[in-house]
């Protein structure tokens, strides 16, 4: 897949609830995910199984009340960015939060090899 095909599929998958399916489709098995800060397990997760675990943790911790995915924004032939905005409810305490982040995805050999998240506080 080309960069723009991967970028468009990631965005479409997020909008349509196919994030899990896309992990196997558009991510390299050794992809790296980097958070802006340590959320309890370090900032960096290596490998598709670890990234799947991050998705499972988020789904178990939050109920998404509203979400918007903006982009993709291509950058050259190896990167693109996406802006995520959501209103989420903590399953632990019921607190509702507005979340916003920019994600930068690095692509090589037709797969996402690295994702980096930048949070808006």
pLDDT tens for 66-85 read 999 999 999 999 999 999 99
pLDDT at residue 77, rounded to an integer: 94
Report the share of the chain in percent with pLDDT over 70: 100
For the cut 90, the answer to whether the pLDDT of residue 109 exceeds it is yes
Give the structural domain span for 94.
3-119
Cα torsion 112, 7, 62, 34 to 10°: value is 40
Number of domains within the chain: 1
Q: What CATH number did the domain enclosing 61 receive?
A: 3.10.450.50
Q: Which secondary structure element, helix H or strand E, spans residue 12, and what is its range? A: helix 3-16
For helices 48-61 and 19-26, the axis angle rounded to 10 degrees is: 170
Find the mean pLDDT for residues 21-34. 97
Q: What is the pLDDT of residue 121?
A: 72
DSSP assignments along 15-59, one per residue: HHT-HHHHHHHHEEEEEEEE-SS--SS-SEEESHHHHHHHHHHHH
pLDDT tens digit sequence for 45-55: 999 999 999 99
């Amino acid at each position: 897949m080309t960069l723009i095909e991967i970028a468009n599929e990631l965005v479409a998958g997020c909008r349509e609830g196919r994030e899990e399916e896309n992990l196997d489709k558009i991510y390299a098995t050794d992809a790296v995910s980097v958070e802006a800060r340590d959320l309890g397990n370090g900032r960096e997760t290596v490998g598709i199984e670890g990234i799947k675990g991050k998705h499972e943790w988020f789904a178990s911790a939050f109920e998404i009340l509203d979400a918007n995915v903006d982009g993709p924004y291509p950058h050259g032939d190896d990167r693109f960015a996406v802006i995520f905005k959501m209103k989420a409810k903590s399953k632990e305490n019921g607190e509702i939060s507005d979340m916003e982040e920019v994600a930068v995805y690095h692509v090589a050999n037709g797969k996402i090899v690295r994702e980096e998240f930048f949070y808006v506080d």
